[in-house]
Amino acid sequence: MSKTNRKKGLVIVNTGDGKGKTTAALGVVLRAWGRGFRICVIQFIKAETGQWGEVKAAKKLGIEWHATGNGFTWTSKDTDETTARALHGWEIAKEKIAGGDYDLIVLDEFTYPLQFGWIDPTQTIDWLKANKPAGLHLIITGRGALPALVEYADLVTEMKEVKHPYKEGIQAQAGIEF
Amino acid sequence: MSKTNRKKGLVIVNTGDGKGKTTAALGVVLRAWGRGFRICVIQFIKAETGQWGEVKAAKKLGIEWHATGNGFTWTSKDTDETTARALHGWEIAKEKIAGGDYDLIVLDEFTYPLQFGWIDPTQTIDWLKANKPAGLHLIITGRGALPALVEYADLVTEMKEVKHPYKEGIQAQAGIEF
């Protein structure tokens, strides 16, 4: 194993239209927590709420968690508000990333602000290249990861829907999907 | 929401050649733990060890965890041992599933015993149909999920590799991939 391998902080992207993008990031959070990593999760679309299973868990585990969205999605009409919230989330993310106090940072649903241009993708990736500490693991989730993000990432997985219960009239289940 | 939706325990399959199959199951474990679910994880290929990040985490969280494999994989030459271990794992799984004491059970890498015929797939699925409590959520992970398993499942996701760091000489990272 070469020296560079030892401290390589991976940039991981979970994308695609299937389930499991955020969930796989949470699995890494659990694994990393098991090893005593310092972890920060920043969510870009979801609104602050203590109702999600993962937020309840994070609170119990002492994991830092920021939900910076307002629950609005890409179908939102209030784009000013949505853009402002995305920029606010990115300001928090930059501070956490550059500060060097974490081993793992998750930018959940961060592909959307980039994809919809609320945050400039080129500037963002340039900033990450210049400022991400070498040992920091970074996970970015969301559909439609831009080619520049895939190019920048070390590990990219596409979650592909094969079969989905909503289509058979089964609702999302608490504790499983949220 | 209809009545049947309320107590529906999902059968979830995470398959495909990409990363994130076990990891997404762990994410559901974290989420479910956050909601106070009773959880049991049974691993079919991995050997018992306290070294994995997820095992350390499970221990700290009080989550029941069984690793029933010997670390041998589908390339193993000692198929008797491998088969015996798979059957032993399946006996534990049956007891836990039928017992009704859990809200979520994960059968990690369970596709392999089925795929390689160490455990009979048809009998297994028939047994699950007859014995899985209606409210129990079941997650099965591993490559090459058989069509009968996909047919039985409610939610199937294929994790597809888009870009993988091993190909660029970067080793698996503790806390992130194990």
Tens digits of per-residue pLDDT, B29-54?
999 999 999 999 999 988 777 778 89
Could you tell me if A32 and A176 are in contact, meaning their C-beta atoms sit under 8 angstroms apart?
A: no
**Cβ contact (<8 Å) for A175 and B35?**
yes
CA separation for the pair A116, A109 (Å, rounded): 12
DSSP-H helix ranges across B35-163: 53-61, 79-99, 111-115, 121-131, 147-152
List the domain boundaries for chain B. 7-157
Say whether residue A103 is in contact with chain B using an 8 A CB cutoff: yes
At B125, which amino acid appears? I
Q: Could you tell me the fold of the domain covering A7-160? A: Rossmann fold (3.40.50)
> Mind listing the pLDDT tens digit of every residue in chain A (178 residues)?
344 444 689 999 999 999 999 999 999 999 999 999 999 999 998 877 777 889 999 999 999 999 998 765 555 566 788 888 899 999 999 999 999 999 999 999 999 999 989 999 999 999 999 999 999 999 999 999 999 999 999 999 999 999 887 666 677 888 888 8
**Cβ contact (<8 Å) for B24 and A23?**
yes
**Cβ contact (<8 Å) for A176 and B12?**
yes
**Cβ contact (<8 Å) for A137 and B19?**
no
**Looking at per-residue confidence, does B41 or B176 come out higher?**
B41
Q: Which residue out of A1, A31, A106, A164 would a mutagenesis test of the B interface target, given it has the greatest number of B Cβ atoms within 10 Å?
A: A31
**Cβ contact (<8 Å) for B24 and A27?**
yes
C-alpha dist (Å) from residue B74 to A90, A157, B46, B83, B98: 44, 23, 12, 11, 28
Rounded to 5 degrees, what angle do the CA atoms A78, A83, A89 make?
Answer: 130
Q: Could you tell me the fold of the domain covering B7-157? A: Rossmann fold (3.40.50)
Which residue of A8, A26, A157 is in closest CB contact with B161? Answer: A157
Tens digits of per-residue pLDDT, B92-111?
999 999 999 999 999 999 99
Which residue of A31, A58, A150 is in closest CB contact with B176? Answer: A31
- pTM, two decimals, is 0.87
Say whether residue A5 is in contact with chain B using an 8 A CB cutoff: yes
CB burial readout A133-167, b (16+ within 10 A) else e: beebbbbbbbbebbeebeebbbbbbbbbebbebee
Interface pTM, i.e. ipTM = 0.82
> What is the chain B residue with the closest CA to A152?
B163
CA separation for the pair A93, A24 (Å, rounded): 20
CA separation for the pair A16, B83 (Å, rounded): 35
Say whether residue A83 is in contact with chain B using an 8 A CB cutoff: no
